[in-house]
Structure 1
Amino acid sequence: MVNYWLDLFTGTTWDEFRNAGANVSGFRESRKNTVAKIAKGDILLCYITGIMHWVGALEVIGPSNDVRKIWQDSDTSESLQFSIRLEVKPIIMLDPEFGVQMKDLEGKISFYMEPSDRRGFKGFLRASPTKLKEDDGKLIYELIREAENNPIAKKIDPSKLKRIPSYMIKSGGEKKAVTVPDAEDEMPSNECKIIKNIDYTDHTRIQYYLLDLGSKMGLNVWVAKNDRSKSFKNNSFESIPRMINELPTQFNEATQKTIELIDVLWLKGNSIIAAFEIESTTSIYSGLLRMSDLIALQPNLEINLYLVAPEQRSDKVKKEILRPTFECLAKPLSTVCGYISFHELEDKVSKIQDLGIASYLNPSFLDELAEYFNAAED
């Protein structure tokens, strides 16, 4: 019986794998016992993180003694050279833009049955290799084959193909992959140039869209205490219907002060159901710190968290959200805080307004927009 296994790549490591002959796939030392369960003839299904595309199928030949530096990261540590290796034979290999989009699998595979499963896909994509259920594996394989036979290019963001170096640490008795942004990542020169071209009202505009949308959905809305006097196109925040002046007093003082400064909240009755931090010209880190504080203060609190930022900052968001300080929380921030780009949000809001369907929406639609990051294992 053929088993199907997940094989994770970034756009960079996929290119490096192919450039090296596409005959050796490697995994971290920590996955040694799992790799030992993979048999000759099993199939590795290749998935590129970031762009979320399935791009290949590899037949396993057996263990490999190949010791080449296939993955050309500047860090030469064994963990980043994926020292546990298998000899493979390519069955299907696609260029990233021709891959099968994960979003097309919603409701068809066990780890993505509904929009909320995008929050890490039930943990399935956090490490490779991982064995797929037989039906899931067969379906994904068939779709990759179909994509090969009927190639259709999809628009992809080149920045999402880049590798973001990750490092293995021990936390709470288990190993976790984290990222450590370089010093220049705090505000790199090219990002400064981009940010200078962004209107300083972007934060206010996105804030207004979220407040207005939440209100039209029949939810109570809250804006950060220090932003209550703002307005957008002569529409004052305080005049938005269902804007509340006080938050439910169900938390301790530290939690209350943290929540009061979050950019936008959606509430249903006394329950906060979604929290949004908007980062356009400020450091991504500041918004994530508030989210982190909230999780640390209330680890059992079930609130959907979202960081909303320009699409050109998605790489920065990923680097920051996978910092050790966030990844080592009882609930890693990357599993509960989704990233939504300005473009995706504004496009969705525009369509909702055109169709006049805001009052029929469930807040879970946000999970169709949000992207959840993890440190790639391959």
Structure 2
Amino acid sequence: MVRGNLRRFEEEDGNWIESYLKRQLSTPRRFPLSESDSRKLVTLTVKTQESKEVEVSVPTKEEQEFSPASDKEEVRESIRVQAMLSRIGERMNLKIWLPKSDRQRVLSVWKPENDSLLTILPLNYDDTTLGTIENIDVLWIKGRSIVRAFEVEHTTSIYSGILRMADLMALQPNLAINAHIVAPADRREKVFQEILRPVFTLLPKGPLRESCTFISYEEVKNLSLEKRLEYMNDKVLDEYQERAGDLDD
């Protein structure tokens, strides 16, 4: 038995522990690990360009986005936007992926049709990459490829989604993916400021701004009102996105 300190047990406590351990020895009882506990036991590693293996962590969506100051109405609005993005992708005949932590809340707004919502990602990447991809707010999938990836930001920091996109680009520099940060229009400049930070400009693949753009909540709503989405493809998003630095070019 391993103890955290050498303080002496009270005799009654010691007797209880001893009897419990004896019962466990004679009639073992399983105590399954939670999903969170299981993740903590797994060491995730990646190889650097110099083929050196290094340990990394992939925060869960809940760990990365915990914000006591988040306004409940903002959170509800972000769920509605996730639902709109899901519906738009579905109407374009694409498959949809939602993080497990958000799925039930989004499904209270969006009712998938024709098995459009995926329960397993049809992607062949290492565990570290998959752990990052699984936490992205909305994915549009075609076959075994990610067509578009969306992070819907509702926290004041506008940071967790950008970090997740940057993690993905760092893990898979050869992955051609169109990524988008979706947030209210009044946070556009904040998103651009973060995307243009040096840490996101010096990624192996190149500056994050080249593969990750901004789409406002309002533009998502406008796109959702298009009556001919079934006849469009994902490239229509190019008309609704904004790229950090474009105003200065």
* TM-score, with structure 2 as normaliser: 0.67
**What corresponds to 2:166 in structure 1?**
292
Question: Structure 1's 196 and 223: CA in aligned 2 closer, same or farther, altered over 3 A?
Answer: closer
- How far apart, in 1, do the equivalents of 2:233 and 2:166 lie? 25
Query: Could you tell me how far 1:197 is from its partner in structure 2?
Result: 9.2
Shift of 1:281: 2.8
1:334-365: per-residue Cα shift (whole Å, max 9, x none)? 11101000011101212x1xx2x121111011
Q: Select 1:364's aligned residue among 211, 235, 249.
A: 235
Cα RMSD, aligned residues only: 2.3
CA contact (8 A) 1:275 1:306 kept: yes
- Secondary structure at the residue paired with 1:317? helix
Q: Which structure carries more strand by proportion?
A: 1
Q: Deviations over 1:185-218 (max 9, x none)?
A: xxxxxxx8xx859543111000000111111110
Unaligned runs of 5+ in 1: 1-191
Partners of 2:196 and 2:155 lie apart in 1 by 20
Q: Is the 8 A contact 2:86 2:138 kept in 1?
A: yes
Give, as a single letter, the amino acid of the residue that structure 2 aligns with 1:374.
G
The residue identity in structure 1 corresponding to 2:136 is I
How far did 1:294 drift?
A: 0.3
Q: Tell me the number of residue pairs that the alignment of Structure 1 and Structure 2 aligns.
A: 180
Q: Deviations over 1:17-42 (max 9, x none)?
A: xxxxxxxxxxxxxxxxxxxxxxxxxx
CA distance in 2, matches of 1:311, 1:221: 25
Greater relative contact order, per chain length (Cα 8 Å cut-off, separation 6+): 1
Q: Which runs of 5+ in 2 are unaligned?
A: 1-68
Write the mapping of 1:109-188 to structure 2, written as runs, cut at 5 A: none
**Residue 341 in structure 1 maps to residue 216 in structure 2:** yes
Per the alignment, in what secondary structure is the counterpart of residue 125 of structure 2? coil
Amino-acid identity (%): 42
Query: 1:42-66: CA deviations, max 9, x gaps?
Result: xxxxxxxxxxxxxxxxxxxxxxxxx
> What's the counterpart of residue 279 of structure 1?
153
Question: In the aligned structure 2, how far is the partner of 1:251 from the partner of 1:202?
Answer: 32
1:313 match:
187
CA 1:228/1:343 → structure 2, altered by over 3 Å: closer, same or farther?
same
Counterpart of 1:332 in structure 2 is 207
Task: Determine which structure has the larger helix proportion and give its number.
Answer: 2
Structure 1 match to 2:245: 374
Structure 1 length as normaliser, TM-score?
0.45
State the AA in 2 paired with 1:360.
Answer: Y
Quick one: distance in 1 between partners of 2:115 and 2:87? 8
